[in-house]
Amino acid sequence: MLDQIQMVFFDAAGTLFEVQGSVGEIYSRLARGYGVEVAPEEIQRSFARQFRAQPPMAFPSETPEAERLALEREWWRDLVCAVFAGEGAFPRFEEYFTEVFEFFRRAEGWRLYDDVVPTLAALKARGLRLGIISNFDSRLFDVLRALSLDHYFEAVHISSREGAAKPDPAIFEAALIGHDLAPQNALHIGDSLREDVEAAAAVGMQAIWLDRRDHEENTRLPRITRLNQLVE
C-alpha cells in the first residue's frame, strides 16, 4: 500500500517538535516577572485540565484574516485566564498574556526532535510531497520558519483556518481535496492515536502512529517510535 503514497502529511506539535521544557515551567517563569508566584506543577495540571475543556480551535473557513487572528488570540486568552483563575488577583494579566502568546511564536518556545530534518529531507529526495495537518493557530507558520522547517512543506492545513479540528474528518477531507488526492494516495503521521491515526484512517487515508513514548497500546494500525523509521 505504501507504494501508492504521493503525499505525506504530518501533525505538528508532539510530532515534529515539542514545548521546550513544559508549559507549566514557562507560564510560571514568565508570571514571576509580573509578581505572580505559582508552582510549575500546579500550572501544568491546570493547563492540562483547562485545555481539554476548551472548544475546538476551528473557525469558519470564510472568516476574514484579521477576524480569525483575533479569534485565535481570544481562544488562547480564555485558556490562559482559566489556568490562573484559582490563583487570586493578576493585575497585569493582559501584559502577561501578550508575552506568553508571543513567546510561543518563536523558536525558543519549542524543541525540534532530532529525527525530523533527516526524515523530511529523505522523503523529499524520494520525490514525495509533504504537508501538515494540525490543530494549531496561525503562529504555526512563524514556528515553522523559526525552526527552518517551512521549506519542506507544500502546504499547511490548520484547524483555525479549515473550520474543523482533528479528529473531525472534515480537516482531512479538505487537505485531500486541496491537493486533488485520493485518500489511499495520502499518508498521515501523528502522535495522537485518536486524533491523527484513527481519524485519518477513518476517511480512507493511510496512517501511522508516531508513539515516541512507546506506549505499546493495542492497535492494529501501524506504529513507529521514531520518525526516521519511515525511511529505514
pLDDT surpasses 70 at 2: no
**pLDDT at position 1, please?**
59
Sketch out the chain's domains with CATH numbers. Answer: 2-16+113-230 (3.40.50.1000), 20-108 (1.10.150.720)
| Confidence (pTM) | 0.94
pLDDT surpasses 70 at 89: yes
118-150 pLDDT, tens digit per residue, is 999 999 999 999 999 999 999 999 999 999 999
pLDDT surpasses 90 at 46: yes
Residues in Cβ contact with 57 at an 8 Å cutoff, skipping those fewer than 6 apart: 72, 75, 135, 136, 137, 159, 160, 165
Q: How many residues does the chain have?
A: 232
Please say whether the dihedral angle defined by the alpha carbons of residues 125, 3, 183 and 206, taken in this order, is positive or negative: negative
